[in-house]
Amino acid sequence: MNAASRLPGTPQPMHMWKGSGGVRLAGDTWGNPEGPPVVLLHGGGQTRHAWGGTGERLGHAGYFAIAYDARGHGDSDWSADGDYSLDALSADLRCVLAAIGIRQPALVGASLGGATSLVAVGEKQVEASALILVDIVPHTEPAGVERIRAFMAQNPDGFASLDEVAEAIGRYRPSQSRPRNLQGLAKNVRLHVDGRYRWHWDPRFLAGQIDLRGRHARLGACARALSLPTLLVRGGSSDVVSETGVQEFLEFCPHAQYVNVAQAGHMVAGDRNDAFGEAALQFLTRHLCAT
């Protein structure tokens, strides 16, 4: 369990839902609960706050948007046994849907959240109305994946200040300007008893090596099983998803639509929230009917 302190100014979660094995999951919602439901799942190392702008936009458009911190991230509990597998994450998704009483939501998943969504739908664990995958396909580039893991694993002893946190993020995302107000970084770290700032995620999330071959086989089988409306969104400069990976996915899932967001990296929604939000909303409008 994460015993570190949340920094002042960090938004409190609107909801707490019980996930698989009793793990508490922190979430936010936007819009009318009677509107078509859209569940937003963030990537590894992110939080529900990555979807704040998208959630508000969907809520204003008549949808009921839901985002929650994955287990081991943000304000959600850490897994007691360190289980952060796709199976555990998919089970959490089912628990959240059951807790809210949602059936057939549209799923929007970025990176790890996209893999979770793909498994949940492709293996018929969740019945969804539509699927948006954000910079995630069965074949991911090993160098890009390793760069993410290296970023997340850096500074295990923490940071002395939010300035140091900003510098670390700047090295990982050199194309993005440094934030003027460092208090916005409070959502990304926790203050420990030794006075050091550490990332909000459970370090055990990075335990072990990813079996890319096994993951490719599983996600590929899930992609072939898709029959619902599907949109793949790639960041034009992503080093995790290549055009080769995109074309393979489109062979697995020929009915899927594809959008390439220029000047966006792996964190598509964060890099180009306007372009991503427009593409997602247009897709949902074509396939769902907001009230």
Domain map (residue ranges) of the chain: 18-144+204-287, 147-201
CA distance 234 to 142: 16
CA distance 180 to 168: 15
In CATH terms, the fold of domain 18-144+204-287 is Rossmann fold (3.40.50)
Given this model, what pLDDT does residue 175 score?
64
Q: Which residues contact 40 (CB under 8 A, 6 or more apart)?
A: 48, 51, 54, 55, 65, 66, 67, 108, 109, 113
The SS3 of residue 286 is helix
Share of the chain above pLDDT 70, in %: 93
Classify 210 in phi/psi space as left (phi over 0), alpha (psi -120 to 50) or beta: beta
Given this model, what pLDDT does residue 1 score?
42
In the chain, the amino acid numbered 236 is: G
CA distance 130 to 198: 36
Name the least confident of 26-40, 99-113, 275-289. 275-289
Given this model, what pLDDT does residue 290 score?
56
CA distances from 174 to 135, 161, 167, 169, 265 (A): 19, 20, 10, 8, 11
Asked whether residue 104 carries a pLDDT value surpassing 90, the answer given is yes
Name the least confident of 31-40, 79-88, 191-200. 191-200
- Work out the pLDDT band at 9, boundaries 50, 70, 90: confident
pTM for the full predicted model: 0.93
Kindly state the average pLDDT of the residues 229-257: 94
- Work out the pLDDT band at 247, boundaries 50, 70, 90: very high
